[in-house]
Amino acid sequence: MKHYKIAVLAGDGIGPEITQEALKVLKVVEERNDVAFELMPALFGACAYFATGDAFPPETIAICDQADAILKGPIGLSHEESKKIPVDKQPERGALLPLRRRYNTYANFRPVSLPKALAHFSPLKPEVIGEGIDLIMVRELVGGLYFGEKEMGVNAEGLRYVRETLEYDEVQIRRIMHQAFKLAMKRRKLLHNIHKSNVLKSSVLWNEVMEEVAKEYPEVQVVNFLVDSAATALCLKPTQFDVMVMENMFGDILSDQGGGILGSLGLMPSACLGDDKAYYEPSHGSAPDIAGKNIANPYSMIGSVAMMLENSFGMEAEAKNVWAAMQGVFAEGYSTADLSKPGSGVKMISTVEFGDKVVEKL
Amino acid sequence: MKHYKIAVLAGDGIGPEITQEALKVLKVVEERNDVAFELMPALFGACAYFATGDAFPPETIAICDQADAILKGPIGLSHEESKKIPVDKQPERGALLPLRRRYNTYANFRPVSLPKALAHFSPLKPEVIGEGIDLIMVRELVGGLYFGEKEMGVNAEGLRYVRETLEYDEVQIRRIMHQAFKLAMKRRKLLHNIHKSNVLKSSVLWNEVMEEVAKEYPEVQVVNFLVDSAATALCLKPTQFDVMVMENMFGDILSDQGGGILGSLGLMPSACLGDDKAYYEPSHGSAPDIAGKNIANPYSMIGSVAMMLENSFGMEAEAKNVWAAMQGVFAEGYSTADLSKPGSGVKMISTVEFGDKVVEKL
Ligand SMILES: CC(C)[C@H](C(=O)O)[C@@H](O)C(=O)O
Ligand SMILES: CC(C)[C@H](C(=O)O)[C@@H](O)C(=O)O
């Protein structure tokens, strides 16, 4: 029997609720496979800060270090609440970025996927969805502005100023490109390279390395897109994209736009892979306004479990089952509040009911 | 009689075609008002580089220096073509950024506006457009990553690397905030402040200064939005926004997303205001693939003229006429190729026909 240790970081806001549903799914997978999942829950994010004074406390680090994979819920506080915590202790700077840095999870995969049959979820017209949206954004996750030096102070003229640096070296770019090209080879052999080389020198190097790596994948067709044009195109014709690769900040913005075109960030799971460790998380925030109400969409969290099954445990068939079970729930006309607005014709179910229905279908 | 000098930088790609239509409109305005527009055409962008070796040549600078306002078409080459020009001579780095820097046009106003009656132009469903989209993005235009130091080289480990800096000081932030708050006071007194303070220190200072300035405009309701959430919300519920304020790069990406939700970047005019000089330009690129075909949408260029009439010449009534004339063309069911796809029910007209119809209606 295989034995896997999973660090479970439920996070803040809706995190615990949607994690609960994801764990139900994991339990079913465990029961019917020759595998044991050892769950190791740990505090992470604002909850950890309030309990220990540290958003990513040593006990959590120890658990993550031991784990074969990390399942992480969304973290963070509302704009107003977050002011109560010193800037560097806030969950994003104090926990999430350190997590990404510690395990060097440089490759973030964010599927943006909506079958034609679910076009009604989307704010886009059915004719824009066409045969369905099915793209994956590959986001560089441990470089760029997020991890550069930061300096805040008062300058010679007595003015408050701030300076931060965006850095990339060729190794950082090359490894994410390989991930993107490999994924493209497994899919439609089409790669959209997102950049801003007409202004940013970082994009000049980005494109240079991309072209070098491209030579190793001659079958892949590369299409270059300025990041601003990509933002236009994602609204006008999202179906043109299959695999998109981009640096950290661009990936943050465009992937959330991706959630927008699907109809809900609740449809955005993700995998964050390093060379030795991987963690899995929804792409969205902790939605403090709807926390504790049993209305959040657990899709992104259950989807993250599916990505974990596939990437960390090689359980591709079970991953497919999980995706199919969720699609099955949608196919019966059910969804959570985010996707069942009055008049949409979608039958509203709670977070727990969604999880239950997925389990039934598994 | 008032006399105004206008530098006319037709630019690259579709620039000359759409500029032609904008000038027709300007002529009509001139004829029926006690005003003379002295047009001073000048080379700018790739066309200038090919003619003179300089994308923003001294003659053009001299003309712009003298001008009361600058009307600028889109510039730039296709990804492949631009490789033929040294990076720093390329139209964006060699002309556009220097133009913005020279005249310190820090306040970029980008209306994203679509009346309910034109909801069919948008890729969004009519129920998402509701009573119409009518927002203005206020983009800081001369700071941030665009204008920071840039360094490319080989590091101690022999790796190619690149580093660029994002800088803001409180003066830069304060002045754009005043612009945004003043605009909000003239409109719905609602301001969405776009930032990424959970990661970027620049956003921490940005928000700090925003809160200070907000005290001077107690009637304005401020809503804070993370840039990634804003990208989601622009798709899901664009009608919640009225005035949005953001730093340079965020404004680049979100405003192009704005063009996406309207249905075409051709609907995106803009005004770029400094304390002493202003220039006006479409928010989009030069679309080399459709250049010379008489199919480009001149709306963004004619709209930029309208913004010039209002902001630089105080001709508010004429500006309104120009907007109304363009809406009139749309109301009769006509538009250019970008907005008259087969099956849309919109009657396709050419660039020139669009200009002619606007002139007729004026
Ligand atoms: C919470 C935040 C730091 C994070 C990011 O910007 O990376 C989130 O928005 C995401 O996309 O994973
Ligand atoms: C051409 C480019 C440099 C420019 C920018 O990024 O500012 C354009 O995209 C815009 O939005 O005006």
Distance B252 CA to ligand 2 centre (A): 6
B219 touches chain A (CB under 8 A): no
A247 ligand 1 Cβ < 6 A: no
Residue B344: pLDDT over 90:
no
- Report whether pLDDT(A219) > 90: yes
Cβ B205–A145 below 8 Å, yes or no?
no
What band does A269 get if pLDDT is binned at 50, 70 and 90? very high
- Residue A200 pLDDT > 90: yes
DSSP states along A118-176: GGGGSSB-HHHHTTEEEEEEEEE-SSGGGGS-EEEEE-TTS-EEEEEEEEEEHHHHHHH
- Which pLDDT value is given to residue A343? 85
* Average pLDDT rounded to a whole number, residues A208-225: 98
Residue A344 has pLDDT above 90, yes or no: no
Summarize pLDDT for B147-166 with one digit per residue, the tens: 999 999 999 999 999 999 99
Whether B76 has its CB under 8 Å from any CB of chain A: the answer is yes
What six digits make up the tokens of A319? 């991953």
Q: Does the annotation mark A252 as catalytic?
A: yes
Could you tell me which residues come within 8 angstroms of residue B164 by beta carbon, excluding any fewer than 6 positions away?
Answer: A165, A166, A200, A201, A202, B145, B148, B149, B150, B151
Flag whether pLDDT at A56 surpasses 90: yes
Q: CB distance from A92 to chain B under 8 Å? A: yes
% of residues, chain B, pLDDT over 90: 98
Interval B312-322 mean pLDDT = 98
- At A233 the three-state DSSP class reads helix
Assess if CATH 3.40.718.10 describes domain B111-267.
yes
Helix (H, G, I), strand (E, B) or coil at B275: coil
pLDDT tens for A141-187 read 999 999 999 999 999 999 999 999 999 999 999 999 999 999 999 99
In this structure, which residue's CA is closest to atom 1 in ligand 2?
Answer: B92
Contacts with A, B 180-209, CB within 8 Å? 196, 198-202, 204-205, 208-209
Contact state of A257 with B235 under an 8 Å Cβ cutoff: yes
Residues of B whose CB is below 8 A from A162 = 167-169, 201-202, 204-205
Backbone angles phi, psi at B180, to 5 degrees: -70, -45
What backbone torsions phi and psi does residue B325 show, to the nearest 5 degrees?
A: -60, -40
pTM value?
0.98
* Cα(A283)–Cα(A303) distance, integer angstroms: 11
Alpha helices in B215-350 (DSSP H): 227-236, 248-262, 299-313, 316-331
Q: What ligand has the least distance to the C-alpha of B46?
A: 2
Q: Residue B289 has what pLDDT? A: 95
Residue B288 is predicted with a pLDDT of 95
- Cβ neighbours of A228 in B, within 8 Å: 252-253, 255-256
Confirm whether B1-103+276-362 and B111-267 share one CATH topology: yes
Percent of chain A with pLDDT over 90: 98
Confirm if B145 and B255 have CB atoms less than 8 A apart.
no
Q: Would you call A33 exposed, middle or buried from its count of C-beta atoms within 10 A (0-12, 13-18, 19+)?
A: middle
Instruction: Assess B252–A contact: CB distance below 8 Å, yes or no.
Output: yes
- Please tell me the residue having the least CA distance from ligand 1 atom 2: A92
Statement: residue A189 has pLDDT above 90:
yes
Q: Using 50, 70 and 90 to split pLDDT, how confident is the model at B5? A: very high
The shortest C-alpha distance from B103 to chain A (Å) reads 18
Q: Is A198 a pocket residue for ligand 2 (Cβ < 6 Å)?
A: yes
Cα–Cα dist B247/B252, whole Å = 9
B256 has a chain A CB within 8 A of its CB = yes
Which of B87, B96, B247 to probe ligand 2 with, by most ligand atoms within 8 A of CB? Answer: B96
What per-residue confidence (pLDDT) applies to A342?
Answer: 87
Interchain contact A65–B (C-beta under 8 A): no
Q: Which of A123, A200, A285 sits opposite B164 (nearest CB)?
A: A200
Name the fold adopted by B1-103+276-362.
Isopropylmalate Dehydrogenase (3.40.718)
Q: Which atom of ligand 1 approaches the CA of A252 most closely?
A: 11
Quote the mean pLDDT of chain B: 97
Strand positions, DSSP E, chain A: 2-9, 35-41, 69-72, 107-115, 132-140, 150-154, 160-169, 190-195, 221-226, 243-246, 271-273, 278-280, 334-335, 347-348
Q: Which atom of ligand 1 is nearest to the CA of A255?
A: 11
DSSP H helical segments within A3-153, as ranges?
A: 15-31, 46-52, 58-66, 79-82, 91, 97-102, 126-129
C-alpha torsion angle, residues B347, B350, B352, B354 (rounded to 10): 30
- Picking from A126, A257, A130, A249, the residue whose alpha carbon sits closest to that of residue B259 is A257
Q: Which residues of B carry out catalysis?
A: 146, 196, 228, 252, 256
Nearest CA to ligand 2 atom 7: B252
What confidence category does residue A304 fall into, taking pLDDT thresholds of 50, 70 and 90? very high
Domain regions of chain B by residue span = 1-103+276-362, 111-267
CA gap A220, A201 in Å, rounded: 25
Span B115-122, average pLDDT: 97
pLDDT tens digits for range A111-123: 999 999 999 999 9
Interchain contact, B82 vs A198, CB within 8 Å: yes
Task: Decide: B229 in ligand 1 pocket, CB within 6 A.
Answer: no
Rg (C-alpha) for chain B, rounded Å, is 20
Average pLDDT, chain A: 97
Do the chains contact at B168 and A146, CB–CB below 8 Å? no
Asked if the C-beta of A285 comes within 8 angstroms of chain B's C-beta atoms, the answer is yes
Residue A207: closest C-alpha in chain B:
B79
Q: What is the side-by-side order of every strand in the sheet holding A271-273?
A: A35-41, A2-9, A69-72, A278-280, A271-273, A107-115, A132-140, A243-246, A190-195, A221-226
Q: What is the pLDDT of residue A2?
A: 95
Ligand 2 contact, A228 CB (< 6 A): yes
| Separation of alpha carbons A291 and A77, rounded Å | 11
Q: How confident is the model at residue B351 (pLDDT cuts 50, 70, 90)?
A: very high
Of chain B, the percentage scoring pLDDT greater than 70 comes to 100
Give yes or no for residue A331 CB within 6 A of ligand 2: no
Tell me, using a 6 A CB cutoff, whether residue B283 lines ligand 2.
yes
Is residue B17 scored above 90 in pLDDT? yes
Please state, in angstroms and as integers, the Cα–Cα distance from residue A200 to each residue in A205, B93, B106, following that order: 9, 9, 19
Pair type for strands B243-246 and B221-226: unpaired
User: Hey, what are A207's tokens?
Assistant: 């494109």
Nearest residue to B243 via CA among B297, B179, B292, B195: B179
Cβ(A12) to ligand 1 under 6 A?
A: no
Q: Which CATH superfamily is domain A2-103+276-361 in?
A: Isopropylmalate Dehydrogenase (3.40.718.10)
The separation between the first and the last C-alpha atoms of chain B, rounded to the nearest angstrom, is 21
Mean pLDDT calculated for residue range B18-47: 98
Cβ-nearest to B160 among A146, A160, A205 = A205
Nearest ligand, CA A272: 1
Smallest CA–CA separation between B57 and chain A, in Å?
19
Distance (angstroms) between ligand 2 centre and the Cα of A198 equals 8
Please indicate if any CB of chain B lies within 8 Å of the CB of A125: yes
Asked if A232 contacts B256 with a C-beta cutoff of 8 angstroms, the reply is: yes
pLDDT of residue A242: 98
**Is B187 strand, coil or helix?**
coil
